[in-house]
């Protein structure tokens, strides 16, 4: 793997599915997995085979049908889980077991009731057992961002000694801030023996709205796998959003100097599919894939975009799979966008018509906040403002 390559590990079907109300059936999961394959993600975490027969079936089905990306299954550090995961992934062309065990004091004390030595022994034994079935083994130190650095170093060295090939440092509860998380990754890179023999991975939750920022900060310190989900769905406030982290790396290559394998032109359709199968709407102003992400309403912006899109767009809509940007008519729109809208919808665009209609349109939208372009279109058709019609009258008042 090139040193400037960031692997994209998609966990929409596992952590994403842990969003309240987002559970998917096997058929839907397979559909999403097929789109993730087109998107060219490096790893698809298809589920947690030991958690339910449905999850086992989904992982097994995806493993036998999707042959591009590596297919991963989540597993606790328990013999039964490991065997079940190996069984679910037996037909995969390329498979990975993703073992996890919590390492923070609070999780050890209240959830696991395990000492530090017991955690180290348990993870060592699990990785050793997993080696009998898998070449590709990821170990996650759950709640790593609230684990002491000294213990995290021990955990990391134990994972590497036991045979893990990817070491994941999750911010399980979304507690980290970019400087803190970056420093943690830097510490591990500098202090853990043989760290350069494995892929260092990050997995951030969005409780403080920092999942993408934290992931990018970690990548800046040498993490080379980012775990993320389409639309950022996931437990509580969700996970790092795949489309955001990928487009940040892509758009700011000047800053990061890093690459992913993602076909960014599939991002919009992936977002739409995940929203459709989970029933979770995409926030209108969501970065990259929200309805407003490439829409401009302000007149000054619209004029700029018509002259040269780069005045107000840092990405091309086509790069994420949208046909074009959208100049939305509204209270703040200018005459240039209004003229383009008339022309695109087949109406007259003589200077007189545009001036007349625009003045009335502005008065109308000032008074009616719920203006809809569809109503304007109906009105103009009724009043014969169509390009081919010569009977239009400029004295007709605009009252939708
Ligand atoms: O958030 C988390 O810690 C996880 C692990 C299982 C990787 O999802
Ligand atoms: Zn998680």
Q: Kindly report the protein residue whose alpha carbon is nearest to atom 1 of ligand 1.
A: 172
Q: What is the DSSP letter of 109?
A: I
Q: Identify whether the C-beta of residue 177 lies closer than 8 Å to the C-beta of residue 214.
A: yes
Q: Global pTM?
A: 0.90
- 7-278 under CATH 3.40.50.720, yes or no: no
Compute the distance between CA of residue 105 and CA of residue 102 in angstroms, rounded to an integer.
9
Give the distance (Å) from ligand 2 centre to CA of residue 172.
5
Q: Is the CB of 303 under 6 A from ligand 1?
A: no
Tell me, what DSSP letter sits at residue 282?
P
Number of residues written out for the chain: 400
Question: In the prediction, which pLDDT does 365 show?
Answer: 85
Number of Cα atoms under 13 Å in the Cβ half of residue 168 = 26
For residue 245, give the 3-state DSSP assignment: helix
Cβ-proximal residues to 244 (8 Å cutoff; 6+ apart), any chain: 212, 232, 287, 288
- pLDDT at position 384: 81
Ligand 1 probe mutation, 142, 227, 236, most atoms within 8 A of CB: 142
Using CA positions, which residue lies closest to atom 2 of ligand 1?
A: 172
| Tokens coding 345 | 């919808």
Say if ligand 1 is within 6 A of residue 140 CB: yes
Q: Range(s) for CATH 3.20.20.70 in the chain?
A: 7-278
What pLDDT, on a 0 to 100 scale, did the predictor assign at position 218?
98
* Closest ligand to Cα 229: 2
State whether the beta carbon of 203 lies less than 6 angstroms from ligand 1.
yes
Instruction: Give burial (CB, 10 Å; 0-12/13-18/19+) of 81.
Output: buried
Task: Yes or no: say if 282 and 291 are a contact pair by the CB < 8 Å rule.
Answer: yes
Ordered per-residue pLDDT tens for the chain, 400 residues? 788 999 999 999 999 998 888 889 999 999 999 999 999 999 999 999 999 999 999 999 999 999 999 999 999 999 999 999 999 999 999 999 999 999 999 999 999 999 999 999 999 999 999 999 999 999 999 999 999 999 999 999 999 999 999 999 999 999 999 999 999 999 999 999 999 999 999 999 999 999 999 999 999 999 999 999 999 999 999 999 999 999 999 999 999 999 999 999 999 999 999 999 999 999 999 999 999 999 888 888 989 888 999 998 899 999 999 977 788 888 888 899 899 889 888 888 889 989 989 988 888 888 877 778 888 888 888 888 877 654 445 555 555 5
Q: Are 19 and 234 in contact (CB under 8 A)?
A: yes
Q: Quick one: pLDDT at residue 275? A: 95
The DSSP secondary-structure symbol of 261 reads: -
In this structure, are strands 7-10 and 95-102 parallel, antiparallel, or unpaired?
Answer: unpaired
List, in order, residues 6 or more apart from 337 with CB less than 8 Å away: 296, 299, 302, 303, 306, 327, 329
> What integer pLDDT is reported at residue 2 of this predicted model?
80
Do 289 and 31 form a contact (C-beta atoms < 8 A)? no
Give the integer Cα–Cα distance in Å for 284 and 267: 16
* Atom of ligand 1 at shortest range from CA of 100: 6
- CA-based nearest residue to 173, from 141, 217, 208, 213: 208
Alpha helices (H) in the chain, listed in sequence order: 26-39, 53-65, 79-88, 105-107, 116-130, 149-162, 178-191, 211-219, 242-251, 253-256, 267-278, 299-307, 335-344, 351-367, 373-382
Ligand in closest contact with the CA of 202: 1
Q: If you measure from the C-alpha of residue 344 to the centroid of ligand 2, how many angstroms do you get, rounded to a whole number?
A: 46
Alpha carbon of 61 to ligand 2 centroid (Å): 23
373: Cβ contacts below 8 Å, ≥ 6 apart: 328, 329, 341
Q: Which residue has the tokens 């058929």?
A: 27
Strands 225-228 and 199-204, bridge-based pairing: parallel
Count CB atoms within 10 A of the CB of residue 54.
14
Q: How far is the CA of 276 from the centre of ligand 1 (A)?
A: 25
Residue with CA at minimum distance from ligand 1 atom 7: 140
The Cα 33–Cα 46 span in angstroms is 8
CB 232 within 8 A of CB 241: yes
Phi, psi torsion values for 17, nearest 5 degrees: -70, -15
For position 375, what pLDDT does the model report? 81
| Å from CA of 187 to ligand 1 middle | 21
Tokens representing 184 are: 């943690």
Indicate the SS3 state at residue 208.
coil
The torsion angles phi and psi of 75, rounded to 5 degrees, stand at -150, 140
Alpha carbons within 13 A on the beta-carbon side of 111: 11
Q: How far is the CA of 93 from the centre of ligand 1 (A)?
A: 25
Question: For ligand 1, atom 5, which residue shows the shortest CA distance?
Answer: 142
């Amino acid at each position: 793997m090139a040193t400037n390559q960031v692997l994209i590990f998609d966990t929409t079907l596992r952590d994403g599915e842990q969003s309240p109300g987002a559970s998917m059936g096997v058929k839907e999961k397979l559909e999403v997995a097929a789109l993730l394959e087109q998107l060219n993600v490096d790893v698809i975490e298809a589920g947690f085979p030991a958690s339910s027969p449905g999850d086992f079936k989904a992982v097994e089905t995806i493993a036998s049908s999707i042959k591009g990306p590596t297919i991963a299954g989540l597993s606790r550090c328990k013999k039964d889980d490991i065997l079940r995961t190996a069984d679910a992934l037996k037909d995969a062309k390329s498979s990975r077991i993703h073992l996890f065990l919590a390492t923070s004091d609070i999780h050890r004390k209240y959830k696991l009731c395990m000492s530090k030595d017991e955690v180290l022994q348990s993870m060592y034994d699990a990785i050793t057992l997993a080696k009998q079935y898998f070449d590709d083994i990821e170990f996650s130190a759950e709640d790593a961002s609230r684990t002491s650095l000294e213990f995290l170093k021990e955990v990391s060295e134990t994972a590497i000694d036991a045979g893990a090939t990817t070491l994941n440092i999750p911010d399980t509860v979304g507690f980290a801030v970019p400087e803190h998380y970056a420093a943690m990754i830097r510490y591990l890179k500098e202090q853990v023996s043989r760290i350069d023999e494995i892929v260092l991975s990050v997995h951030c939750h969005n409780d403080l709205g920092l999942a993408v920022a934290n992931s990018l900060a970690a990548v800046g310190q040498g993490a080379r796998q980012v775990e993320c989900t389409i639309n950022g769905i996931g437990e509580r406030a969700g996970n790092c959003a795949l489309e955001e982290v990928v487009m940040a790396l892509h758009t700011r290559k000047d800053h990061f100097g890093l690459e992913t394998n993602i076909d960014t032109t599939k991002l919009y359709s992936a977002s739409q599919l995940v929203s459709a199968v989970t029933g979770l709407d995409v926030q209108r102003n969501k970065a990259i894939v929200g309805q407003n992400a490439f829409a401009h309403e302000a007149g000054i912006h619209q004029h700029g975009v018509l002259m040269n899109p780069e005045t107000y767009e840092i990405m091309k809509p086509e790069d994420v799979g949208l046909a074009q940007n959208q100049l939305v008519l509204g209270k703040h729109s200018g005459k240039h966008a209004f003229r383009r809208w008339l022309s695109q919808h087949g109406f007259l665009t003589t200077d007189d018509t545009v001036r007349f209609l625009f003045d009335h349109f502005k008065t109308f939208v000032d008074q009616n906040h719920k203006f809809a372009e569809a109503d304007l279109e109906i009105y103009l058709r009724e009043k014969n403002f169509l390009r081919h019609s010569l009977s239009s009258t400029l004295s007709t008042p605009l009252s939708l």
